[in-house]
A and B are shown apart, each in its own frame.
Chain A
C-alpha cells in the first residue's frame, strides 16, 4: 500500500455548498481500498466558520482587493470575534462607509488601510476620522 495517503475525506451531505471533491464509483461487491483511510467528512460550514454567532457574509463588488485574490463578486466570510492584527484583511468602517482593506499598523502607531490594486491609494487613518474594525475577513470565495 502507498503510505503517502494520509486521509480520504468524504463529503458531508448536510452541507449546502458545492464540494471540491472527486467522487468515484466503487464496484459492487468489492470493499473500497480507501475505506480504512476515511478520517472524517468535510463540512465547509463547520470548517470555515469557527464562531457562528459572530460570522457574517459580505459580498464585494469592486476590484480594489484583486491582488489578494478577492475578485469582484467575491463572497467574504467575516468573523467579528477574532482580533484583527497588522497584515490582516478587514472590513473597516470609516465614517459612514464600509470597505474591505488590508490593515497596516506601523511601529509609530499609525494605521493605514491598503488596497491590493495599484489604482487605489492607501488610506491613512487620521485623528478626525471615525474608524472602526467591523470584522476580520477569514475566508474569501471568489467566482472563477
Chain B
C-alpha cells in the first residue's frame, strides 16, 4: 500500500460532543458559545442552515434563537477535552503516526508496511471513520492524499460532498484535477489573505492554477512557503508528520472575567488561580520558567476609562514552583494595578522556558528549594488523584467573583462522578 496522509476532522466537534450525551438535540439546531457566553464558536448543520455565522455574538441572534427554539450551550471544555482524547486514542490504535493538530483535527500517516494486507487507503479511511463514530459517538470527515496540503483540500471537499460519505481519497484518483479546480485558491492550506490577494491579481483563482505555476516564480513572489505549497499541490510531500509537538516557547493562562471588577483583591484571587494553573501546566511539561508576566485590561467594548498594562518579573533562577511563580505574579500585579478601572481580563504568562532537569543548582538556600519541590510533587499527586484544587494556596480561590460565566454548560459527563449521564 502506498503511503498517504489523512486529515481527520471532527464534524462540528463541540456540538457533536453535546449530542453524544443528549439524545434530545440529535436533529435540532444547536450552538455552543465561547467563554463568558459571548460568541458562537460551534454550530450544528441545522443552525448553519438558519444563517447563523461563526463568531457572531449571542445578542445579535437572540431573535433567531427564540423563533427557532435553538439549543444554546456554554463551552464545556472538560467534556470536549476528554472526548478529544478518546477520538485521538482511537486514531492512535490504527497507527502511532498521528499528529494531533488541534482539539478536533489530526493528521495520520497511512500505508507503508505497517498494515498486514495491502489494500486501498480509502477503504482504511472508511474503517477509521466508522470506528471513531462507533466507539466515541463523534462523526468525523477524512481527506486522504499524497501530501498534507492535498489531504486538507480533500477533507474540505468531503465535508461538502453528499456522495463522499465523509471520506475522500485523492491518491491515484482520476478526479484530482476536478477537485483542485473546484477549490478556490484562498482555501488552500498555507495561502493566507495576503498571498491570496496577490494570486488573484495574477489571475490565479483555483488550486489547480496554483499547482501549475512556475515554482521559481512562486518562490520569488511568496518565499519558500509559497514554493512549498505549489510542490505539495503537485503531490510532492514537503511537510512531514510532526508527531512530537515542538517544545513550547511560552505558557499562558488567562480568562475573561464573568463580570468586570475594580477590586485589587478580586484580581489577586484571579492571578493566584491562573498562576496555579499555569504552574501545573509547566510541571506537566517538565519545564521551568525564567520570566513571569502578568497582564490586566479593561473591557475595550465598554464605556468608561480604559487601561491595559503588563508587568514582568525576571527570576534569578528558573523555577517550576507554584509558590514562587505566584509570588512573582502577585508582585507584578501590585506594580501595574491602578485604582478606578473596571478590569475585565487578566492572565499569567511564563517565558524563557527550559527543561526542569536542567534547573540551575543554587548556591544558597538549595535545601529549602528542594523541600518545596517535594511539596509541589505531593500537591500535584493529590490533585490528580482527588480532583483539581483539593489542595491549593489560599489566595487562589477558584470560586471568586471573576469566575468565567458558563450559565448554560452541560454536565461534565465524562470527568465528574456527580455529573455522569443519568437515564431513567
Residue numbers of A with Cβ under 8 A of B are 16, 51-54, 56-62, 64, 75, 80-81, 91, 93, 95-100, 130, 134
Contacts and interface: CB of A to CB of B under 8 A. Distances in A.
Nearest to A72: B424
Nearest to B90: A53
Contact of B23 (A60, A64, A75, A96): A96
Contacts of A64: 424
A46 B414 CA distance: 17
A102 to B, nearest CB: 15
B113 interface: no
Contact of B422 (A51, A59, A96): A59
Interface in B408-424: 413-414, 417, 420-424
B28 to A, nearest CB: 9
B422 A58 contact: yes
B89 interface: yes
Contacts of B422: 58-61
B414 A56 contact: yes
Contacts, number: 63
A80 B24 contact: no
B399 interface: no
Interface of B is mostly: helix
A52 B25 CA distance: 26
Interface stretch (B58-66, B129-137, B338-346, B355-363): B129-137
B420 A59 contact: yes
A96 B137 contact: no
Nearest to B424: A62
Nearest to B88: A53
**Central interface residue in B89, B385, B423, B424, by most chain A CB within 10 Å:** B423
B403 interface: no
B424 A99 contact: yes
A59 B423 contact: yes
Interface of B: 23-26, 86, 89-90, 93, 134-137, 385, 413-414, 417, 420-424
Nearest to B423: A98
B26 A53 contact: no
A91 B21 CA distance: 11
Contacts of A75: 420
Given A97-B23, A98-B23, A58 B134 contact: no
B123 to A, nearest CB: 20
A16 B417 CA distance: 12
Which of B137, B413, B414 gathers the greatest number of chain A CB atoms within 10 Å?
B137
B26 A96 contact: yes
30 contacts: A16-B385, A52-B89, A53-B86, A53-B89, A54-B86, A54-B90, A54-B135, A56-B420, A56-B421, A57-B414, A58-B420, A58-B421, A58-B422, A59-B420, A59-B421, A60-B422, A60-B423, A60-B424, A62-B423, A64-B424, A80-B135, A80-B136, A81-B134, A81-B135, A91-B423, A97-B23, A98-B23, A99-B424, A100-B423, A134-B137
Contact of B136 (A53, A91, A97, A98): A53
A96 B26 CA distance: 7
* Residue among A56, A58, A95, A100 with the highest chain B CB neighbour number at 10 A: A56
A56 B412 CA distance: 12
B136 A99 contact: no
B424 A54 contact: no
Q: Which 5 A-B pairs have the closest CB atoms?
A: A54-B135, A62-B424, A53-B89, A59-B422, A96-B24
Contacts of B413: 56
Nearest to A97: B23
